[in-house]
Amino acid sequence: MRRVAKLALVSLCSLMLPMRALGQSMAMPTAADGYTITKTPEVDQPAPPGYEGRTHSGGQTAIGNTDATRGKKYLVHFTFANEIKICPKADGTAEGDGELSGVYDFTDSASGAATHLDMHAIAKYKGKVGDDALLVGPVTADVDYSYKKSERNGAHSTVAAPPDVNVTQHVTAQFVVFKGEPVPKFDAFSGGDAGLGHLSEAYGTALALGFWAGVYYSVAETEWTQDGFCVHVVFGPPSNSVQPVLGGETKVIAEIKTKGGEGVRGIFPIVKPLDGGGSVSITSSATDPGSPAIFYYTAPNTKVAKAGFAVAATSRGGAASGRWETGLGTGWSGEISVSRVTEGDEGNSDLQTWSNFEAIAVTIDVKDGVGTAVGHGEARHIAINRHNVARGGVVTQEPDNDQSITSSADGAGPAKVSVELDQANGTYSIVPEYGPFAPGKTHYSSCDRDGCTSRDTPYGVEGMLSGMGGKIDDLNHVRGSQTTEIKNLGRTHNGHQTFTLTWDLSRQGTTK
């Protein structure tokens, strides 16, 4: 209870500071003052799939309903949002976004008087994850803060309207997230120009946004340190694709990869043989993309039901465990993997911001022709449109609409793999079979001047497994790969798509 109270108290205090500038001008009347009060339904929704955080927004409208107030209208709206990506990037970068904004409008149709006030803060968060899968050092919050105010006096006013206010500040806050602690510790604030004004409010927005970002970073860290949540261990050769002789030594390499197939730097702090016996050593516990860890497994001197070794891994992308097992039956065993990554289509201008990314991967692990297929898919598409507005001889940009599509899917199911050999022509083809995965979810969100709408639809992981085959070099071992890249994608032709398909299957003691 003390921790919950502490969270609530800090949140309230941090939120009040940046809203103070709005509060000085956004005096809202009550029903007793002669107004009809309508509250905008408050929205409190969780972050989209693949993210930790929440978005909270709401507002209120007051419309005059007496002779003294008729024609007068007040409107206030606020948004407070944070989204922290659960899985770090392959290089250990842990990113997120935040927004804290408030808009106030007053109009008087009878006199022509009007007041518009807009406070907006956009945060970009960046943290760094170490080889131990924990955040290293402080998370940096870069906050772009803007405060705009314009007033128009009534037709009969003898007082000149004050000049428009248009202040922008860029400030930076750093906070430290401690493992197991939900409350971050703020390290430093910097940036901004006191001469421009509203610097304290800019720091206040950084404090409010950073506080809750730290809370959600703590939650995300708990998730990416779960076994296999964001990364997995990939062995070469795959489990069950070789059978060492009794007492013999086998070299095995291992890499840590994201679910999208990218290599991640990490370590293997735990390496031990399975209960069946044998021993295992490792030349170095560290692994880098393209520089895998190397293990030497020595098989036991007697036949056992299960032989091999197990590892536990931590990395800049998260934590995982893995097992490498030996022994073949008479069927095909090994691994097939395919991935398709579309990225690079992104850009920003005064009137548009867009970004498009999608990664789909499927892996099949089989022993004696049967096994498991695991699929993963994720996508994020963002489109933000703005329009120019001229006030007081100054042209600024205001939002038109904001659209985002976020998709995520993970699935697993039984699989079968057969290899068709054409010895007459010296070729082979691989035929995989697996059922459809349970669908994930696509979250659509669209916001414009009239409000926001959202909906969810199913999102599936595509198979893309076809065309595997080649020349027969060894009747008991087939392997190969295909890589295709398409360039010049997207509206500015800077996007590209990479398709990668690999297979490595073998069997024991048969030439059929």
Element (H, E) at 292: none
Element (H, E) at 466: none
Q: Residue 484 class from Cβ within 10 Å (0-12 exposed, 13-18 middle, 19+ buried)? A: exposed
pTM (two decimals): 0.77
Do 155 and 112 meet the contact criterion of CB atoms below 8 Å apart? Answer: yes
* pLDDT tens, residue by residue, 95-152: 999 999 999 999 999 899 999 999 999 999 999 999 999 999 999 999 999 999 999 9
CA atoms within 13 A on the CB side of 308: 20
Token pair of 149, please?
Answer: 């105010």
Q: What are phi and psi of 409, to 5 degrees?
A: -155, 135
- What separation in angstroms does the CA of 235 have from each of 71, 251, 252, 255? 73, 11, 7, 7
d(CA 337, CA 482): 11
CA-nearest of 98, 97, 88, 96 to 128 is 88
- pLDDT for residue 18: 44
CA-nearest of 74, 42, 78, 77 to 61 is 74
| Residue for token pair 């309508």 | 38
Q: Which residues contact 158 (CB under 8 A, 6 or more apart)?
A: none
3-state secondary structure of 104: strand
Do 121 and 209 meet the contact criterion of CB atoms below 8 Å apart? Answer: yes
- pLDDT for residue 333: 87
3-state secondary structure of 45: strand
Residue 290 zone, left/alpha/beta (φ > 0; ψ -120 to 50; rest): left
Do 131 and 123 meet the contact criterion of CB atoms below 8 Å apart? Answer: no
Superfamily, domain 229-327: Immunoglobulins (2.60.40.10)
Q: What is the pLDDT along the chain (512 residues), one digit of tens a residue?
A: 333 333 333 343 444 444 444 544 567 899 999 999 999 888 899 999 999 999 999 999 999 999 999 999 999 999 999 999 999 999 999 999 999 999 999 999 989 999 999 999 999 999 999 999 999 999 999 999 999 999 999 877 778 889 999 999 999 999 999 887 888 999 889 999 999 999 999 999 999 999 999 999 999 999 999 999 999 999 999 998 887 777 778 899 999 999 989 999 999 999 999 987 889 999 888 899 989 999 999 888 777 878 899 999 999 999 999 999 986 445 788 999 999 999 988 888 888 888 999 999 999 999 888 899 999 999 999 888 887 777 777 777 777 888 999 999 998 999 999 889 898 999 999 999 988 888 889 999 888 877 788 899 999 886 678 889 999 998 889 999 999 999 998 888 899 999 999 999 987 744 44
d(CA 174, CA 87): 21
User: What's the CA angle centered on 215, arms 233 and 97, to 5 degrees?
Assistant: 80
3-state secondary structure of 217: helix
Residue 20 zone, left/alpha/beta (φ > 0; ψ -120 to 50; rest): alpha
d(CA 486, CA 500): 12
Element (H, E) at 212: helix 199-224
Token pair of 309, please?
Answer: 């070794």
| Residue for token pair 């507002």 | 59
- pLDDT for residue 330: 59
- pLDDT for residue 185: 93
d(CA 177, CA 405): 29
CA distance from start to end of the chain: 69
Residues of the chain with CATH 2.60.40.10: 229-327
Token pair of 456, please?
Answer: 């969810």
Q: Which residues contact 395 (CB under 8 A, 6 or more apart)?
A: 388, 389
Q: Residue 102 class from Cβ within 10 Å (0-12 exposed, 13-18 middle, 19+ buried)? A: buried
433 DSSP β-pair partners? 416
Instruction: Give the chain's length.
Output: 512
- pLDDT for residue 62: 97
DSSP 138: P
DSSP 494: -
Do 110 and 167 meet the contact criterion of CB atoms below 8 Å apart? Answer: no
| Residue for token pair 């120019």 | 388
| Residue for token pair 């205001």 | 398
3-state secondary structure of 86: coil
Element (H, E) at 274: none
d(CA 2, CA 6): 6
| Residue for token pair 């049967």 | 370
